[in-house]
Structure formats: structure tokens, C-alpha cells
């Protein structure tokens, strides 16, 4: 009888790594002359074996920060992008990729070891293993089956207010109807048109609650943001104005923290794309990924919520264009701050009823039909700006084409290794930059004083008394705003008086 083979911890780690890399159990049994159960037991106990290996070989290196943070950052971005596409990632592949990125970054002194990869996995809670691939296409039957069998299990225990969906959309925020033909079919991966495009993350609940919009632009600090204290949206930036896995994770961790403070939990449905990584350690957000290639059918945001938002935005933009052309001596222009303000107003006009119908249309809850052309309003006055513009500009396109013009605009992409390195280095550089500017010049906003604001409110109060459409104004809200400003003015005057008193006593 042959003596029983014993393995060192290091040998067991090597065998586990080879299994992770896809080697066959039978081949390893033949090579080492052991039974199938011996190799299977190693695989079953791999977590304990790796922990033992770490404690034996890294006793003096506990809790040490990574020695090559830049390599770690790039490798982590690459890993998240691969896992979001369900690509199987093994330990040896991570090791090979780390060495590759080190060469790309010019780190000649770096050689990735198994222990470095193990610590990398520990720091980021990465479990390396086999991942099953997804089917390339999904039929209507697949959608119906998912809605009937999978969705109820996922949403069990959640109320309508806890069931959320989020998705990105591209927006040509400066686009006027007369330029529609130039932009038609544009995916906007770069070039002259890209400076007119932003990415917007839209999120809402099944009950109709709306999350503050996230806007992603190209400049971190556009010139028009100067003197702006607060924005009505969350704002991020990168060179392509795209959603990235880093931005998405940052947004979700912030949201998760807010929910934790309010002791509320939600389930968030998102689509599978490189910018939507599997985020670990979210305590109050459960991520649920929609089946591939189904978003046009079962993603609520895509059933009319984004279209309604864009329709309201286009109306506001056209109204501004018409009013500027008719009443202003300065030519019509829109910067990203103007776009953000109009986008916020447009989002406020998307009603809870429309959102509920879109969730129903996607198969979430009781089905009801939705007409996305109603855009939350039956007011014929909404069409007047476009009618006035059409009479002056015979080339103006139809409204439907104008609203849907940026449906195919790319909001994220699979990054090459060089693009991953560039994006990580750019993020590090932006942390030290004071200001970035848009390519075009724009006037810096003058800061209104409290007195200016009170004068404007006085004008509003007069309009409430004598104006033709004053019945629709929130008079109580105007009064509250006036009271708040008056208190702020008194507080400022009081501080000024105290300062003068001390200055005089020192003379």
C-alpha cells in the first residue's frame, strides 16, 4: 500500500489556484497520485487554507496598505468591469493582469505574487471562482417567465416605496429643433458633438418617488459653476461624460448611507453593463440585475419615464429659445448650469402617476396601459413655444423626432486597458485640480444679494394681487420665502453691528 501523500499549505494553495484557473480535477489527481476526494476536500476548504497560508507567510505584514496603490486601483477597475459582464476571473489571471498593468505604468520593480493577490482580494472582499455566462439573447417568453417566477421572489417583503429602478440616458442639453437633422442617429462617442452631451442617471420607485438626478459632464468645475453654492442635482465629471463603475459605486454608497440613517431598505433593479459593478457591503440597498437584453421590455425607466423627462426638458429649452429671441438683446445660449436648472424643473414635472404606469407597463405590479405621449399634461399651452418657433423656422422637425433624438447616445462603454489606466490617473489628477473650464466662454453668474431677492419677491406679491394667472401661484410659499430671507437679512445686519462695535472699541 502506497504511503499517503501529504501537502504543505503552499502546495495546497497552488492546487487551489490551478483549479480556479480551470484545470480539471481528474488531471490533478493523476499528477499528484491522490484520490478525487483529496482534491475536492482542498477545494471545499479553500477559504481556511488561504487563511492559514496568509497567517503563516504574512505575520509581519498584517493590515499593511498596498505598496503599489496605482496598480491596485487600475486592477480593481478592470476586475469590476469583467465581473459586470460575468467573465470568469481566476487568481492566476488576476496575477497576470497585475503584472501587465505594472508594465503599462512603468513599474519595473513590481512582480505580482500570490500573497499580493490574496491581500488584494481580502481588501476588496473578492471571491474568485467560476461564473456562468449569460445567454446572448432573451425572447419575450424569457421576459414573461422572469416577470412571473423571478420578480415575485426578488420583491417579496418589499413595498412599492422600496422597489426602485435606475438607468442612465444621454442628453444633448443644448440641442434646438432646427439642429435635429445634424444630430439624428448620433451615438456620440467623441468629436465636436460630444461637448453638447451629458449623461443623466434617473431613479424612481414603484410608488412614484423620485431620486435627485445625477448629471455627469465633461468638466469637473465648469466656469458657469463659479459662485454657485449648491446645485439641484448631484454632479460628477470625466473626459467623456460617461457613467463609470467608480461613479456608480460612489453614488450607491452615498444613497446606502442615507437609507441607513433613515432605517429604510430598498431593492434596486439595474441593467447589466460595465458601469454597474457588483458592489459589496451595501447594508440597505439590495442590487438586482435585470436579465440581459431585456431592458427595452421590462425596465420601468425605459417604458416612458425618461421620454417624459426629456419631453418636458425640450419644451423648457424651446421656451427659453423663443423668449430669448423675442425679448433679449443677447443671442440665445445654453450652458450646463442652464441645462441642469431646466432638467431639475423637467424632473419635477414628471408625475407619480406616470411613474406608476411605467412600472406597471414593465410588468411590475398590476398591468395598466400607458400613453407616453401625454407627458403628464393635457395643457395645449405647452405646445405654443414650438408652434411659434415653427412659424419662424420652416425647417423645424416634428416633436417626436426632437424628443427621441438622443435615444441611441452612448452613456458607458467597455474600456480598454489603456483607457482604464487613463481614467484612474485622471481621477487622481482631478483630486488636485482647482478648476476646469468648458470649451466655450460663458458669463460668470453674479451673486444676487438678499435685497435683490426681497425685491423680486415684492414683485411676485404684486403679481399675485393683480396678475392674470395669479390664482395658480403658491402665495403661501412666496410668503414663507420672504420671511426666511428677512430673517437672514436681520441676522446679517446684527453680525455687522457687533463687528462695528468691536472695531470701535479697539480704536
Half-sphere exposure of 442 (CA within 13 A, CB side): 20
Q: ∠ CA(286), CA(263), CA(154), 5° rounding?
A: 25
Q: What are the φ/ψ torsions at residue 413 (nearest 5 degrees)?
A: -160, 165
DSSP E strands in 335-381: the ranges are: none
Residue 270: predicted pLDDT: 96
DSSP string, 69-128: HHHHHHHHHHHHHHHHTT--B-HHHHHHHHHHHHHHTT-TT----HHHHHHHHHHTT---
Residue 470: predicted pLDDT: 59
CA distance 466 to 463: 5
Residue 377: predicted pLDDT: 46
Residue 411: predicted pLDDT: 79
Residue 498: predicted pLDDT: 52
H or E element in which residue 201 lies? strand 197-205
Interval 225-239: pLDDT, tens: 988 889 999 999 988
Model pTM? 0.63
Which stretches of the chain drop beneath a pLDDT of 50? Answer: 1, 57-63, 129-137, 181-182, 187-193, 367-375, 377-381, 392-396, 431-437, 439-441, 501, 505-507
- The C-alpha torsion from 297 through 299 and 302 to 308, rounded to 10°, is 120
Partners of 167 in the β-ladder? 202
Residue 392: predicted pLDDT: 46
CA distance 467 to 507: 54
Return the C-alpha cell found at 184: 439624428
Are 237 and 438 in contact by the 8 Å Cβ rule? The answer is no
Amino acid at each position: 500500500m502506497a504511503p499517503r501523500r501529504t501537502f504543505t499549505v503552499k502546495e495546497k494553495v497552488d492546487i487551489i489556484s490551478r483549479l480556479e484557473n480551470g484545470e480539471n480535477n481528474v488531471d490533478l489527481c493523476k499528477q499528484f497520485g491522490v484520490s478525487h476526494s483529496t482534491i475536492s476536500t482542498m477545494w471545499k476548504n479553500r477559504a481556511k487554507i488561504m487563511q492559514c497560508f496568509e497567517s503563516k507567510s504574512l505575520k509581519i505584514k498584517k493590515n499593511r496598505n498596498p505598496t503599489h496603490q496605482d496598480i491596485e486601483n487600475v486592477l480593481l477597475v478592470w476586475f469590476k468591469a469583467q465581473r459586470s459582464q460575468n467573465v470568469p476571473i481566476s487568481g492566476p489571471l488576476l496575477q497576470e493582469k497585475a503584472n501587465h498593468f505594472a508594465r503599462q505604468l512603468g513599474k519595473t520593480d513590481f512582480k505580482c505574487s500570490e500573497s499580493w493577490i490574496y491581500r488584494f482580494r481580502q481588501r476588496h472582499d473578492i471571491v474568485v471562482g467560476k461564473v456562468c455566462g449569460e445567454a446572448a439573447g432573451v425572447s419575450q417568453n424569457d421576459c414573461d417567465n422572469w416577470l412571473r417566477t423571478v420578480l415575485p421572489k426578488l420583491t417579496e417583503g418589499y413595498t412599492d416605496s422600496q422597489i426602485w429602478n435606475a438607468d442612465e440616458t444621454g442628453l444633448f442639453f443644448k440641442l434646438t429643433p432646427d439642429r435635429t437633422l445634424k444630430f439624428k442617429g448620433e451615438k456620440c462617442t467623441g468629436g465636436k458633438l460630444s461637448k453638447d452631451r451629458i449623461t443623466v442617471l434617473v431613479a424612481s420607485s414603484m410608488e412614484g418617488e423620485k431620486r435627485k438626478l445625477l448629471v455627469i459632464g465633461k468638466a469637473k468645475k465648469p466656469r458657469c459653476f463659479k459662485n454657485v453654492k449648491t446645485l439641484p442635482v448631484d454632479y460628477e465629471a470625466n473626459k467623456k461624460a460617461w457613467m463609470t463603475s467608480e461613479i456608480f459605486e460612489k453614488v450607491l454608497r452615498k444613497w446606502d448611507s442615507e437609507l441607513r440613517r433613515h432605517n429604510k431598505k430598498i431593492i434596486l433593479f439595474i441593467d447589466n453593463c460595465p458601469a454597474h459593478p457588483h458592489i459589496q457591503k451595501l447594508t440597505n440597498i439590495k442590487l438586482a440585475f435585470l436579465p440581459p437584453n431585456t431592458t427595452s421590455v421590462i425596465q420601468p425607466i425605459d417604458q416612458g419615464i425618461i421620454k417624459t423627462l426629456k419631453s418636458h426638458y425640450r419644451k423648457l429649452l424651446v421656451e427659453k429659445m423663443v423668449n430669448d429671441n423675442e425679448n433679449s438683446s443677447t443671442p440665445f445660449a445654453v450652458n450646463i448650469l442652464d441645462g441642469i436648472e431646466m432638467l431639475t424643473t423637467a424632473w419635477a414635472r414628471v408625475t407619480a402617476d406616470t411613474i406608476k404606469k411605467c412600472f406597471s407597463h414593465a410588468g411590475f405590479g398590476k398591468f395598466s396601459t400607458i400613453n407616453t405621449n401625454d407627458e403628464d399634461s393635457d395643457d395645449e399651452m405647452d405646445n405654443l413655444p414650438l408652434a411659434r418657433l415653427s412659424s419662424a423656422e420652416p425647417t423645424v422637425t416634428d416633436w417626436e423626432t426632437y424628443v427621441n433624438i438622443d435615444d441611441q447616445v452612448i452613456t458607458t462603454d467597455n474600456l480598454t486597458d489603456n483607457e482604464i489606466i487613463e481614467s484612474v490617473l485622471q481621477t487622481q489628477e482631478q483630486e488636485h485640480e482647482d478648476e476646469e473650464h468648458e470649451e466655450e466662454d460663458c458669463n460668470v453668474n453674479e451673486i444676487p444679494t438678499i435685497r435683490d431677492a426681497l425685491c423680486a419677491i415684492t414683485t411676485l406679491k404684486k403679481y399675485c394681487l393683480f396678475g392674470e394667472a395669479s390664482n395658480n401661484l403658491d402665495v403661501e410659499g412666496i410668503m414663507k420665502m420672504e420671511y426666511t430671507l428677512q430673517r437672514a437679512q436681520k441676522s446679517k445686519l446684527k453680525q455687522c453691528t457687533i463687528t462695528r462695535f468691536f472695531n470701535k472699541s479697539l480704536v
